[in-house]
Structure 1
Amino acid sequence: MGATNQITTKWLGKMAFESNNPSGLNLTIDAGPEDGGEGRGFRPKALMLSGLAGCSGLDIAMLIGKMKLDVRDFKIDITANLTDEHPKYYDKVTVAFHFHGDKLDEKKLKRAVDLSVDKYCGVMEMFRRFAEVKIETNFHHE
C-alpha cells in the first residue's frame, strides 16, 4: 500500500471553510457572493487546476535544475471546460507551458515537459482519468 495524505477541513460559517495541508499551511475555501459566500477564499474546482499546474511545475523546475537549462521565466496557463450538467466537472483541459529566455534549449525543455506529463506528475494522471487533457509547449525567445 502506498503513502496516505490526510487533511482536515473545518467549516468557518456561511460558505467558508479552512483546510489544512501537510505543509503546515492552511488555506481558506469560500464560494462567491453569487453562491452565498463572501469570495474570501479559493474555489474548489479552480484549486484542482492550481494543484495540476503546481505538480507539473515542480517536476519541470526540478528538471530545469538537473539539466542546467537557462530559463529566465516559466509559467503554466490552464484552461478547463466545465460540463453543463451537475455534477459539473472538467471534461476538457488544456495545459499550456510558456518558457521565456534568450538561450532556451527547446529540445530539452520539451523533454522536461514530456517527462512531467507522461511519467512524474500524479495530478496529471488523475486528470486524465476524467478529462481529455491537451498539452501545449510555447517558447518565447527574448
Structure 2
Amino acid sequence: MDAKVTWKGRLSFTGSAESGFSVPLGAEAAVGGEEDGFRPMELILTGLAGCTAMDVISILLKKRQDISAFEVRAHAERSEGHPRVFTSAVLEYHISGRGIDEVAVLRSLELSATRYCPAQAMFRNVFPVALRYFIYEDSDGQRKLVSQGEYRVPLITSSS
C-alpha cells in the first residue's frame, strides 16, 4: 500500500492513496493552520472507525439483518505530553432497523475485532479499544433503543 501527502502551503496538505482518492489535511489556526482539512490524528481515528464499520455492516447484511441506519462513533483519549499519542479508544456501534438480532451484532463485532479489521488489531496491541453497541428498533417512523452492551475482546496471551 502506498500513500503520499502533497504540501499546499502553510500547514495544508492533500493526502492521496493508490486507490486514487484524496483527502484534505490541515491544522487548527492556533498552530498556524487554516482550519481547512482533517487533522492527521482525526484521520487515523476515522480510519479505525471506517475499517470496523465496513466489516460489521458487511457481516450484518450477510446475516440478512433489516438495517435502516448504521453509524460507528469513535472517541480516543490522548496523552498530555508530546507526542500526543492515543492512550485508549471507544467505538460505539449504533444500529437501527427492524428485528435486529443481538447475537448477530455481537458476532459481527467479534469477527471485526478478532479477524478482519487490521486497524483494530494494530491499535489493540498498543492501547485498549472498547466496543459498545446500541440497537434501535424502527417502528412507525420512531426509533427506540431496545438493547445495548459491550463486546469484550478476548485477551490474546502468548505461551512460551
Q: Could you say whether these structures have the same fold, taking a TM-score greater than 0.5 normalized by the shorter chain as the test?
A: yes
* Amino acid across the alignment from 1:89: V
1:16 is displaced (CA, Å) by 0.7
Same amino acid, percent of matched pairs: 29
- C-alpha distance in structure 1 between counterparts of 2:42 and 2:27, whole Å: 11
TM-superposition CA deviations, 1:64-99 (whole Å, max 9, x none): 221111111111111110100111111010111111
- C-alpha distance in structure 2 between counterparts of 1:51 and 1:95, whole Å: 12
Unaligned regions of 5+ residues in structure 1, if any? none
Aligned residues: CA RMSD: 1.0
Aligned: 1:109 with 2:92: no
Could you say which residue in structure 2 is the equivalent of 1:87?
Answer: 83
Higher relative contact order, structure no. (Cα contacts within 8 Å, ≥ 6 residues apart): 1
Could you say which residue in structure 1 is the equivalent of 2:123?
Answer: 127
Q: After the TM superposition, which parts of structure 1 deviate over 3 Å for at least 4 consecutive aligned residues?
A: none
* Amino acid across the alignment from 1:78: A
* Amino acid across the alignment from 2:94: H
TM-superposition CA deviations, 1:41-84 (whole Å, max 9, x none): 11100101110011001111211221111111111111110100
* Amino acid across the alignment from 1:100: S
Aligned: 1:10 with 2:41: no
- The structure where strand makes up a greater share of residues is 2
